[in-house]
Amino acid sequence: MKWLELLQVGGVTLVAAVTLVVLYSLGVRLTAIAGDAGQKSPSLIRSLAYICFGFCGLAVLFGIYLIVPYFGK
Domain that holds residue 36: 3-72
Closest CA to 27 of 5, 43, 10, 50: 50
**Residues with Cβ within 8 Å of residue 38, at least 6 apart in sequence:** none
> How many domains does one find in the chain?
1
**Model pLDDT, residue 37:** 67
In tens digits, what is the pLDDT along the chain, a chain of 73 residues?
789 999 999 999 999 999 999 999 999 999 999 888 677 888 899 999 999 999 999 999 998 998 898 877 7
Contact (CB, 8 A) for 36 and 4: no
Q: How far apart are CA 65 and CA 58, in angstroms?
A: 10
**Predicted TM-score (pTM) of this structure:** 0.82
Residue pLDDT, tens place only, 48-68: 999 999 999 999 999 899 889
Q: How far apart are CA 61 and CA 48, in angstroms?
A: 20
